[in-house]
Amino acid sequence: MTTPYTLVDKNILITGASSGIGRAIAILCSRMGAKCCITGRNAERLEDTLSQMQGDGHQAIVADLLNEEDRAVLVNALPKLDGVVQNAGVGSRVPCKFVTQTDIDQVFTINTFSPILLQKELMQGKKLSAGASVVFISSMAVKYPSVGNAIYSASKGAIQAYAQVLALELAPRKIRVNCVCPAMIWTDLVTADGIDKDDLIKDQAKYPLGRYGSPEDVADLVGFILSPASSWMTGSCVELTGGGNEL
């Protein structure tokens, strides 16, 4: 009996795969039968991800997606893709009163501008197969304001708006584009800029399901969106919150 919940023989690109959510997505995709191209800045940690993946035919490409030349090398090395997970991102907690140009440049370059440029380069390089699925990892920070999160929230809001337009432009080729919007997930991002982990451990009890999410929780949803099981789904921003209604 066949099932659409599979990625057998699909080529999937996953950015930011050297840790956290990206790593969990890479591992899950490999278990679902995909051949993955994983990318990140840190060769050692990328290899660590690779060592945890199942099956053969995966490749790890070290690249700094902020760098145009690195992106060109990456795109050239890629096969025709059936799935793209734009996951690379950075957290930031700065009160509005203290925001600097550097904060804005850093957060927007990593969370917004680089994914947009990489997406363009993938399309210009004709790397997307018809029927492919593109997933952007956004955040519930777009909908749930929390103090200090303005620049991060704005960067994710921008990528969501972009993704919805991209969905429209790629629909004629049956390429689907969706965002996943997690609430608090246990990764290095949530303790950005000196946030106290002990406070977060207490805070997660407020979530109706009693805990923050894990990278694997996000990966399970992304695996579904990459698979043919979601083939009528595009332009969506899927909320993954453990029932929580704040960050």
Question: What is the binding site for other proteins (CB under 8 A)?
Answer: 93-95, 97-98, 100, 147-148, 193-199
Rounded to whole angstroms, what are the CA distances from 17 to 14, 43, 46?
A: 6, 11, 7
Tokens 């099956």, residue located: 55
* Contacts of residue 1, Cβ cutoff 8 Å, sequence gap at least 6: none
Q: Which is nearer to other proteins, 22 or 91 (CB)?
A: 91
Q: Which is nearer to other proteins, 105 or 199 (CB)?
A: 199
Crossing angle of helices 150-170 and 101-108, in 10° steps, is 30
| Residues recognised as catalytic | 152
Q: What's the closest the beta carbon of residue 105 comes to other proteins, in angstroms?
A: 16
Burial group, residue 11, by CB count within 10 angstroms (0-12, 13-18, 19+): buried
Q: Which is nearer to other proteins, 69 or 198 (CB)?
A: 198
Q: What's the closest the beta carbon of residue 193 comes to other proteins, in angstroms?
A: 7
Q: Report residue 42 as tokens.
A: 């840190």
Q: What's the closest the beta carbon of residue 194 comes to other proteins, in angstroms?
A: 4
Rounded to whole angstroms, what are the CA distances from 245 to 29, 200, 212, 237, 239?
A: 29, 15, 12, 16, 11
Q: Which is nearer to other proteins, 72 or 195 (CB)?
A: 195
Q: What's the closest the beta carbon of residue 198 comes to other proteins, in angstroms?
A: 7
